[in-house]
Amino acid sequence: MLPIITEDISTEIYTEAFQDVQSWRKNMVQYLKEENPEINSAILEVAKHDESIDLKAVALGAYLSYRLLEVATENEGLTIEA
């Protein structure tokens, strides 16, 4: 079961990400390369699959989703299994 993403968690992550979107996205790429390389590869593969979509926008959405779930999971005292 997925954790509940509260408004507080959303606000925290959006504030974190939108202070400097480009740097945050690049940091998430590096973070996920170490933390969960399979997820990172999947995000990049999906983003590259269709040339008509914006790679950076797809990756940003995926990284935001990952981070929201990660923080919500931590708040519920659970762990994300790779």
Among 65, 59, 68, 56, which residue's Cα sits nearest to residue 11? 68
Sequence-ordered strand ranges (E) for the chain = none
Tens-digit pLDDT profile for residues 5-24? 999 999 999 999 999 999 99
Give the pLDDT of residue 23.
Answer: 95
Q: What is the reported pLDDT for 73? A: 92
Tens digit of pLDDT for each residue in 23-69? Answer: 999 999 999 999 999 998 998 888 777 777 788 888 899 999 999 99
C-alpha distances (whole Å) from 29 to each of 15, 19, 70 are: 18, 17, 15
Amino acid symbol at 26: K
pTM of full prediction above 0.85:
no
Q: Which amino acid is at 46?
A: V
Query: What integer pLDDT is reported at residue 64 of this predicted model?
Result: 95
